[in-house]
Structure 1
Amino acid sequence: MTDPGIGRRSFLRAGALLGALALAGCTATPPDSNATASASASGSQGGPSATFTFATAARPSGLDPALVTDTESHRVTRQIFEGLVGVDALTSAPTPLLAESWTESEDGRSYTFALRKGVTFHDGEPFNADAVCANFERWYHLPASARGVGNLAYQSVFNSYSDRPELAVYKSCTAVDEHTVQIDLATRLTGFIPALASPEFAMSSPKALRQFNADALSSEKDGQRLSEYALHPVGTGPFFLESWEGDEVRLATYPDYWGERGQIAGIVFKTMTSPESRLRALKSGQVDGYDLVTVADVDDLARNGLQILQRDPYSVLYLGINQAFPGLDNVKMRQAIAHAIDKDALLEGLFLNGTKQANQFVPEKLGVSSGSVTSYGYDPERAAELLKEAGYKGAELPFHYPRHVTRAYLPTPERVYAELSRQLTAVGLNIKPVPVEWSDDYLQSVQRSGDRALHLLGISGTYDDPDNFVGSLFGSYTEEFAYDDAQLLSKIDRARTLESGPEQTEAYTAISDRIATRVPAIPLAFPISALAFSPRVAVYPTSPLLNEVFNRIELREP
Structure 2
Amino acid sequence: MKKRKRLLSAVLAAVIACSGLAACSGGKGASSGSPASGTKSRAQDTLIYAQGADPRGLDPALVDDGESAKIIVNIYEGLLKYNKDSTEVEPCLAESWDVSKDGLTYTFHLKKGVKFHDGTDFNADAVKFNIDRQIPPKVTEDMGYAGFVFGSVKSVEAVDPYTVKINMKAACTPFLNNLAMSLGAPMISPKALQDNQNNVNEHPCGTGPYKFVSWTKSQNIVLTRNDNYWGTKAVTKNVIFKFIKDNSARVVALNNGEADVIDGIDATVVSQIQSAGNKIYEAPGMNINYMAYNTTKAPFTDAKARTAVSQAVNVPELVKSLYQGYSDPATSVMPSFMPGYDAGIKQVPYDAAAAKSALAAAGIKSVHMITYSNPRPYNTANGQALAEAVQGYLSKVGVKAVIDSYDWTTYKEKVKAGDYDICFYGWTGDNGDPDNFMELMTDKDPTMNVARYNNPAFKALIDKGVAAPAGDARNKIYTDLENMAAKEAVWLPISHGKTLCGYRSNVKDFYYHMTGVVFLSGVSKG
Which band: TM-score by shorter chain?
A: 0.7 to 0.9
Residue deviations 1:49-83 (CA, integer Å, cap 9, x gap): 81111111101111101110111111111111000
C-alpha contact (below 8 Å) 2:348/2:489 kept by paired residues: no
1:100-499 equivalence runs, <5 A:
100-141=95-136, 146-148=140-142, 152-159=144-151, 169-200=152-183, 201-214=185-198, 227=199, 229-246=200-217, 247-351=219-323, 353-388=325-360, 391-403=361-373, 405-412=374-381, 413-439=383-409, 441-450=410-419, 452-476=420-444, 478=446, 480-499=450-469
Q: Does 1:68 align with 2:37?
A: no
Q: Secondary structure at the match of 2:61?
A: helix
Note the C-alpha offset of 1:537.
0.7
Question: CA offsets, 1:415-455, max 9 Å, x none?
Answer: 2111111112212223222222334x1023123332x1111
Distance 1:157 1:514, change over 3 A: farther
Q: Tell whether 2:92 aligns with 1:97.
A: yes
- The residue that corresponds to 2:12 in the other structure is none
Contact 2:365 2:398 in 1 (8 A): no
What is the Cα deviation at residue 248 of structure 1? 1.2
Is the 8 Å Cα contact of residues 253 and 266 (structure 1) preserved in structure 2?
yes
Contact 1:292 1:406 (C-alpha < 8 Å) held by counterparts: yes
Pairwise CA RMSD of aligned residues? Answer: 2.0
State the one-letter code of the partner of 2:186: A
In structure 1, C-alpha distance between the alignment counterparts of 2:324 and 2:159, rounded to whole Å: 50
Distance 1:387 1:249 in 2: 48
**Distance in 2 (alpha carbons) for counterparts of 1:174 and 1:143:** 16
The one-letter code matched in structure 1 to 2:146 is: Y
Aligned to 1:12: none
Letter in 2 for 1:55: A
Question: Helix, strand or coil for the counterpart of 1:91?
Answer: coil
User: Quick one: structure 1 residues 230 and 275, their matched pair in 2 at CA, closer, same or farther if it must change by over 3 Å?
Assistant: same
Q: In the alignment, is the contact (CA less than 8 A) between 1:477 and 1:484 conserved in 2?
A: no
How far 1:156 moved relative to its partner? 3.0
1:129 alignment partner AA:
A
| 2-structure distance, mates of 1:541, 1:520 | 34
Under a length normalisation based on structure 2, what TM-score does the superposition of the two structures give? 0.88
One-letter amino acid matched to 1:187: A
Q: Distance in 1 between matches of 2:346 and 2:271?
A: 38
Could you say which residue in structure 2 is the equivalent of 1:6? none
Mean CA deviation greater in 182-191 or 543-552? 543-552
Shift of 1:90: 1.8
Tell me how far 1:339 sits from its aligned partner: 1.6
Distance 1:446 1:324, change over 3 A: same
CA distance in 1, matches of 2:500, 2:81: 22
Q: Is the 8 A contact 1:85 1:98 kept in 2?
A: yes
Q: Give the corresponding residue for 2:29.
A: none
C-alpha separation in 2, matches of 1:504 and 1:59: 38
Note the residue ranges of structure 1 that are not aligned, 5 or more in a row.
Answer: 1-36, 43-48, 160-168, 215-226
Q: What is the CA–CA distance in structure 1 between the aligned matches of 2:170 and 2:452, rounded to whole Å?
A: 27
Q: Secondary structure at the match of 2:53?
A: coil
CA deviations 1:91-114 (Å, max 9, x no partner) are 221111111111111111111111
Between the aligned partners of 2:149 and 2:354, the Cα distance in structure 1 is: 38
Q: Output the CA distance in 2 between the equivalents of 1:286 and 1:171.
A: 49
Residue 378 of structure 1 and its aligned partner are, at CA, apart by 1.4
TM-aligned CA deviation for residue 39 of structure 1: 7.2
TM-score computed with the length of structure 1 as normaliser: 0.83
State how far apart, in whole Å, the 2-side matches of 1:519 and 1:356 are.
20
SS in 2 for 1:550: coil
- Gaps (5+ residues) in structure 2? 1-37
In structure 1, what is the Cα distance between the partners aligned to 2:432 and 2:96?
18
Deviation at 1:361, TM superposition (A): 1.4
Question: Given that residues 119 and 127 in structure 1 are in contact (C-alpha distance below 8 angstroms), is that contact kept between their aligned partners in structure 2?
Answer: yes
**Alpha-carbon distance, 1:41 to partner:** 7.0
CA shift in 2, pair 1:376/1:458, >3 Å: same
Q: Are residues 477 and 253 of structure 1, via their aligned partners in 2, closer, same or farther at CA, if it must alter by over 3 Å? A: closer
Aligned pair count? 484
Deviations 1:479-504 (A, max 9, x none): 73232200000000110001111011
CA gap of 1:549–1:270, structure 2 versus 1, over 3 A, is same
Relative to structure 1, the CA distance from residue 385 to residue 62 in structure 2 (aligned partners, 3 Å threshold; closer, same or farther) is same
Structure 1 pair 38/58, CA: closer, same or farther in 2 (3 Å)?
farther
Secondary structure of 1:131's aligned partner: helix
Q: Secondary structure at the match of 1:236?
A: coil
Q: 1:371 to 1:541 in 2, by over 3 A?
A: closer
| Identical pairs, percent | 26
